[in-house]
């Protein structure tokens, strides 16, 4: 059963989803690729992974946390999983390009595919896809919107 919680933030509401004891999604509500809430889902903000997620996201947005410690279970293709794993390794306050991300994910000629996988990241903020930028550091693409990407990078003191 999928449980969910809406998390209010200064960047707008987030939708967190979990199955069992693992977080499966964190989306900006209304963002590209954000799922609609199914009638079969159960709203349960007190569910442990959802409660922990809300607390850690709040601490991050207050500048009090740089890393997340949550059990994750994102669903995606093997290539998407590789890309998301590499995104998760980008340090707080740093950025890399889509071309570098593709190289790190083992597909150096697949920057566009890495970009598409980045856009499908189901764990926004936690798997910090806002740290992936275009060549030359340009802000391109973000399922939550470029204004949010800019604000997240500014919070981290990242140059973009």
Question: Which of 83, 129, 143, 152 is an active site residue?
Answer: 129
Tokens of 109: 């000629």
Rounded to whole angstroms, the Cα distance separating 17 from 33 reads: 14
H or E stretch at 31:
none
Q: Buried b vs exposed e over 137-155: b needs ≥16 C-beta within 10 Å?
A: eeeebbbbeeebbebbbeb
Whether residue 53 lies in the annotated active site: no
- Catalytic residue IDs: 129
């Amino acid at each position: 059963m999928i449980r969910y919680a809406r998390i209010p933030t200064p960047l707008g509401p987030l939708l967190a989803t979990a199955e069992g004891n693992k977080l499966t999604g964190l989306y900006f509500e209304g963002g590209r690729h954000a799922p609609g809430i199914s009638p079969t889902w159960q709203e349960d903000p007190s569910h442990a992974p959802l409660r922990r997620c809300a607390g850690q996201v709040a601490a991050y947005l207050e500048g009090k946390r740089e890393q997340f410690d949550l059990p994750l279970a994102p669903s995606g293709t093997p290539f998407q999983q590789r890309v998301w794993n590499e995104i998760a390794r980008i340090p707080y306050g740093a950025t890399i390009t889509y071309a570098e991300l593709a190289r790190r994910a083992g597909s150096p000629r697949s920057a566009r595919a890495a970009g598409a996988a980045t856009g499908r990241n189901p764990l926004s903020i936690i798997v910090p896809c806002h740290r992936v930028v275009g060549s030359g550091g340009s802000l391109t693409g973000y399922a939550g919107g470029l204004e949010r990407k800019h604000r997240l990078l500014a919070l981290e003191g990242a140059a973009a």
